[in-house]
Amino acid sequence: QVQVVESGGGSVQAGGSLRLSCVVSGNFYRSYCMGWFRQVPGKEREGVAIIDRSDGSTSYADSVKGRFTISQDKVENTVNLQMNSLKPEDTAMYYCAADHCAANGDHLNRAWYNYWGQGTQVTVSS
């Protein structure tokens, strides 16, 4: 059975940093995209950062470019999201997701992902 498990998150003041990690366990695809989405109450879940596990190519939401970095550790089989210069508007529940990469390149579209973690809260105070 495939499981997506997140770790990290927490509370930090504006300008601070946090790191999220995610691992997919079980018998999963050899080639897939994996990354992070976030959601606040009353709003749709939005794509934050995605990495293609096969070639390491990345996609970022405009709101996090230059502040967040997604990377993969092939030894540990994890995908990490380093979040720097955090802002109060980054406060959300962050979800890790994995699935085949979008055929049309729309990797930040949540509709492509069927495997999700339980979420981890990130809170940034001003």
* 15-54 pLDDT tens trace: 999 999 999 988 888 889 999 999 999 999 999 999 999 9
- The per-residue pLDDT for 74 is 82
- The per-residue pLDDT for 63 is 98
CA dihedral 19, 76, 28, 103 (to 10 degrees): 60
Instruction: Give the residue among 89, 88, 107 at the shortest CA–CA distance from 98.
Output: 107
Distance of CA 35 to the CA centre of its chain: 4
* 50-75 pLDDT tens trace: 999 999 999 999 999 999 999 998 88
- The per-residue pLDDT for 29 is 86
- The per-residue pLDDT for 75 is 82
